[in-house]
Amino acid sequence: MNTPPFRIGQKVVALRDSRFGYFKKDKTYNVLDIEICDCGYITICIGKVVKDYSFEICNKCEVIRKRKGEYAFHGASNFAPIEESRTHIQYVAVSESLREKAVEIAAVETN
């Protein structure tokens, strides 16, 4: 459980309506950013804020922290990852490891 179930760039579907109108049930969103509170609570960002608050409160430990710019974060439990995006994530993971390999090779060659 060290890695969050969501990744930036992933498509997710909302499981319920936001009480404040941030997201709607069954609508799909892109994960723009992910934050993990010190208490382990995971929130994801799916878009700009509707209302202009400069802080947010963790739903789990109730710690208040400053909002990142004008983006709102919501509890990850409100969303489910969409299956189809998994192939894209794997592709990104593969190309990242290939890039690391290329950097390793380049480092060896220059030494």
Would you count residue 13 as binding Zn ion (CB under 5 A)? no
Which stretch, 2-10, 17-25, 30-38, 78-86, contacts Zn ion (CB under 5 A)? 30-38
Q: Give residues with Cβ within 8 angstroms of 78, minimum separation 6.
A: 14, 15, 16, 18, 23
Round to whole Å and give the CA distance between 71 and 77. 18
Would you count residue 61 as binding Zn ion (CB under 5 A)? yes
Query: Is 9 in contact with 30 (CB distance < 8 Å)?
Result: yes
Which of 13, 32, 41, 71 is close enough to bind Zn ion by CB under 5 A?
Answer: 41
Which of 13, 37, 42, 49 is close enough to bind Zn ion by CB under 5 A?
Answer: 37
Round to whole Å and give the CA distance between 41 and 61. 8
Round to whole Å and give the CA distance between 13 and 32. 14
Letter for the amino acid at 8? I
Would you count residue 14 as binding Zn ion (CB under 5 A)? no
* Residue 28 or 59 with smaller CB distance to Zn ion: 59
Q: Look up residue 63 and give its two tokens.
A: 């710690």
Which of 27, 60, 68, 86 is close enough to bind Zn ion by CB under 5 A?
Answer: 60
* Residue 9 or 40 with smaller CB distance to Zn ion: 40
Binding site residues, Zn ion, CB under 5 A: 37, 39, 41, 58, 60-61, 63
